[in-house]
Structure 1
Amino acid sequence: MKFIDSAGVEFNCPVTFTGTVTTTPSSPATASYMVKRWVSPTITQADLTGGQASQSVNLTGFPGGVVLAASYLQTTATSSSSNGGTTGATLSLGISGSTQAYLATGANVLGAAARLSNAAGTLLGTYRASDVPQVTITATGGSPDLAHLTLSCRAVVYYLEVTAES
């Protein structure tokens, strides 16, 4: 990789940035935009309320004024159930009123620790002024209850920032 910093120093090796890197429209080539990645806070059992089969958990810190490019969910530890009444769990990513708007409900996540790239949601490719994404967790089985689950997951969304058109 070739990189020249603002002082004219050239790097001909991999470069790792720590902290925030800010780009402006004049930094990349004109009319080029960088795809950015947002990673949600981790959702764990502590975020769930027992006694119900399904719950949507709001995710904080999502930027506004963006066009959604792609998304997936990541289970960060093996998910499990402590009770035979809950034999499965599914996840989706969306917003209030449209729980699958970013990512449709996928397969059972119990026993999985992986990226979940289900069917794309209906809002991908659209402009979003100020969304509050939600992960919806649904327990399944003969007597499903979120209290039975051990779960650790987070959402990842790729997006383009939108600036004023000129």
Structure 2
Amino acid sequence: MQTILTQARRVVTIILKNTLNKRMSSPQVRYVDFWDKLVEELTNKESIITESIALDSIFALFLAGFEATSYAITLAFKLLSDHPQVIEKLEEEHEQILKKMGDREDSSTVTWEDYKSMIFTSQVIKEILRLGNFSPVMFRKTMKDVEYKGYTIPKGWQVMVCSLAIHLNPEIYEDPHSFKPSRWKFLKL
């Protein structure tokens, strides 16, 4: 099994390296995406990012994206199966939207207005994402000096934000380990 995974990683790394090389050879073409940011960092003489680190980062993003999606779907099914009243409320909301769609000439397309009317659906999604903590940490670069609780975080520093510490903090969320989509009532789409 390990050999298959090692071979797969090697093949993916070759594909990623080829893509990075294409981007590096034509920096004038900008897509304004993660690849552009990597090329920018790799061409910056003061950067500590190497090609190897860049390729590992891209590989990790692909893996994390796959893992996060399957984890999110699994968590959603678990939370919804544990809360049948939430499923009932979702069904009611979606039935109302389907009824409105049936009254329209083009009843096969969800419109922006339909999407915006999915208030409870949005609350459920936000609550699943809060409890899932799919990205346990995020890195951000300070764009200016930031004062926080008597400390100064200088411009240009990397800051690590731990979403677990925020999403499960009882000072921020009442009963933080409970699945309560209604806690998002005050937020609009």
TM (norm. structure 1) is 0.21
* Greater C-alpha radius of gyration: 2
Larger RCO: 1 or 2 (CA < 8 Å, sep 6+): 1
More helix as a share of residues: 2
More strand as a share of residues: 1
TM (norm. structure 2) is 0.19
